[in-house]
Amino acid sequence: MSLEDLRKTREEKLDLLKKAGVNPYPAKSSFQLSEVAAVKKNFEKHRRSRRPLAVAGRVMAKRAHGQAAFLDIFDGSEKLQIFLAKDKLGEKSFALFSETVDIGDFIAAYGKVFLTKKKEQTLEAVKWEMLTKSLRPLPEKWHGLQDAEERFRKRYLDLLMNTEVRERFQKRTKIILELRQRLQAEGFMEVETPQLQPLPGGATARPFVTHHNALDIDLYLRIAPELYLKRLLIGGYGKVFEIGRNFRNEGIDRDHNPEFTMLELYWAWQDYRGLMTFVQKLLKKWLPGKWRTLTFSQLVKNPTEENYKEARNKIKEPTFIIDYPEALMPLAKLKPENPKLTESFQLIANGAEVVKGFSELNDPLFQRQQMERQEAEHRRGNEEASRLDEDFLEALECGMPPAAGLGLGIDRLAMLLTETKNDVITIPASAVKSGVLGEYVQIVDKEKEISLVSEGQNDENIYYVEKSIKTLKENNLLDKNAIKNLDITKLADSIRSSGYYKQKARKLKEFVNFKGEITRDNLLGMWGIGPETADSILLYAYNKPVFVIDAYTKRIFTRLGIRFNSYDEYQGYFHKNLPKDYKLFNDYHALLVELAKKHCKTKENVAKQITK
């Protein structure tokens, strides 16, 4: 049965409830409800008392046995089995239950608890009521939501069906709570600083821009709270911290999300060495083992970005990397004995940068030089460069005490402590994609084609992808070997205008360096390549008869009334109804793209057209 048929059946059951005089969406239960976890914890007490109680939850399983039925309900704390029998409920109530209740509905049940012959804790209902009638079925437990992107986009179902995922986010919450308690116990005061800032600062990153209508000024979502926390040190506080969201308009990978949670901390009268001791005390319980310290030069003999990442990824035990070059830590104090190096550290564990800290700059003249240099970079077109903040410099000229500061990535710490590579953000950026263009631009070399992903661009912004291709062509980089030999930083800079350029550069590098057979499974095994990317490469670069399902295709067929739940279902529809001919697939997909761009536009683009 199709999803539309299932939905129609459930809507008919909704009508049955209404005709029976039942409100399928009441504001609350008419029963005094108990939490399932509390009932199970005190089960023997409830069983001996024989007093009735009520519980509520989502129906996760339903097993009908003629004149009786068993349900498993889940209320967010635990599951409980419910037994409903016709002779206890009455014929009318049992019939309504049998005809209208589906897996996914929320119900309340009232009755006494007992143990089944198999010692299953159970509530025998003498009354029940509908609290929410669901109109869509839940995914099948073992085969639903296998696609990672769909899991992120429909996180509500992922949480419901996967206990491990639900427990992971509960653990993340506990990590933040315990961090906060440890810091407060050490005398640090938690503060809040602006998330909307007139100038982005405190880090090198491309910011998100918004506009304040009342003030008629542009504001930036903060990339870091650093400069505002330092103002508090200037104002007389000695130990301050903030746990909050930062925003950076950059690429997405396992270590980077456009919005993420950071702990930033500043400690007057302390330097980076003292801060390292404090970090070890703060995290030792979570990161056991032998803690080491290496200098940056010991870690990387030939300091390129790729060499640093390669060396970093080999570090498993907690390790402080100290004495970074001044170019990598422009906001840190220089070492008196070697001004080319900074009083700085990063804590690496399991290949990830967890904490960055240093002795903070408090020389206003030197700070001005650094900011002026960054401002010049910004004016030359570097959108990631910091800005000259005269208000902060004025505050710094009033005097800031010697201090050390750090930033700790909550998301990365959660990855370490939950032993997961990337799934620690409840609603990640991939879950809110809208109008994404999954088109691929061809780069041709002498033997075959490779694809530059233009994801993250909407219908109007493909110009910027074409601009990136033009830049590659002008620099003689439309060649597989040229890309393979090019430094990844230079490659990223060449495709900067396409958006998410760092991420795309990494994908290109991984692709051109791949030595195995180009199959769908091998492509999907590469970092950052999903079904749409893999199929585009196979169809356009390798002439394989694989139909590509992108936002254009889904938009057109959805408006024709043809909807499916997953990428594979959409693709299966085309493969089943068309001859497997790569030229046909290529031409058909190109026509769909043109149709969507010119006529079947997004609602936003249609609205823009109307208002012109």
The DSSP line for 116-155 is -TT--EEEEEEEEEEEE--SSPPPPTTTSS-SHHHHHHTH
Share of the chain above pLDDT 70, in %: 85
What is the rounded distance in angstroms from the CA atom of residue 588 to the CA atom of residue 281?
61
Residues counted in the chain: 612
Distances (CA, A) of 273 to 339, 348, 401, 407, 607: 17, 16, 17, 15, 57
Q: Is residue 431 predicted with pLDDT exceeding 80? A: no
What is the rounded distance in angstroms from the CA atom of residue 304 to the CA atom of residue 298?
14
What is the rounded distance in angstroms from the CA atom of residue 454 to the CA atom of residue 439?
6
CB 504, CB 484: distance < 8 Å: no
Nearest to 63 by CA among 73, 52, 71, 55: 71
- Element spanning 245, H or E: strand 239-247
Among 75-79, 284-288, 553-557, name the one with the lowest average pLDDT.
Answer: 553-557
Rounded to 5°, angle at Cα 374 from 372 and 379: 95
Dihedral angle of Cα 503, 479, 588, 604, to the nearest 10 degrees: 40
> CB under 8 Å to 89, separation ≥6 — which residues?
97, 125, 126, 127, 128
Q: Which tokens hold the place of 92?
A: 């009318």
Cβ neighbourhood burial of 481 (10 Å; 0-12, 13-18, 19+): exposed
pLDDT in tens, 471-502: 776 777 666 778 778 888 888 777 776 665 67
pLDDT in tens, 127-175: 999 999 999 988 765 445 556 666 777 888 888 888 888 899 999 999 9
Distances (CA, A) of 567 to 261, 526, 550: 31, 19, 9
The DSSP letter of residue 578 is S
Mean pLDDT of all residues in 443-463: 40
CB 454, CB 437: distance < 8 Å: yes
What is the rounded distance in angstroms from the CA atom of residue 395 to the CA atom of residue 391?
6
Q: Is 88 left (phi over 0), alpha (psi -120 to 50) or beta?
A: alpha
pLDDT in tens, 100-124: 999 999 999 999 999 999 999 999 9
Dihedral angle of Cα 203, 204, 207, 213, to the nearest 10 degrees: 60
Give the up-direction half-sphere exposure of residue 253: CA atoms within 13 A in the CB hemisphere.
16
Distances (CA, A) of 475 to 419, 449, 483, 519: 42, 18, 11, 30
What is the rounded distance in angstroms from the CA atom of residue 251 to the CA atom of residue 460?
19
What is the rounded distance in angstroms from the CA atom of residue 110 to the CA atom of residue 80?
13
Q: pLDDT band for 203, please (50, 70, 90 cuts).
A: confident
Q: How is the chain split among helix, strand and coil, in percent rounded to 5? A: 40, 20, 35
pLDDT in tens, 217-238: 999 999 999 999 999 999 999 9
pLDDT at 146: 57
All structural domains of the chain:
3-132 (2.40.50.140), 164-194+224-431 (3.30.930.10), 460-610 (1.10.340.30)
Q: Is residue 533 predicted with pLDDT exceeding 60? A: yes
Q: pLDDT band for 469, please (50, 70, 90 cuts).
A: low
CB 497, CB 464: distance < 8 Å: yes
pLDDT in tens, 296-309: 999 987 766 677 78
**pTM for the whole structure:** 0.67
pLDDT at 391: 96
Which spans in 398-496 are helix H?
Answer: 410-418, 462-474, 480-485, 488-494
pLDDT at 499: 60
What is the rounded distance in angstroms from the CA atom of residue 221 to the CA atom of residue 223?
7
CB 266, CB 227: distance < 8 Å: no
Q: Which amino acid is at 172?
A: R
Count of beta carbons in the 10 Å neighbourhood of residue 513 = 11
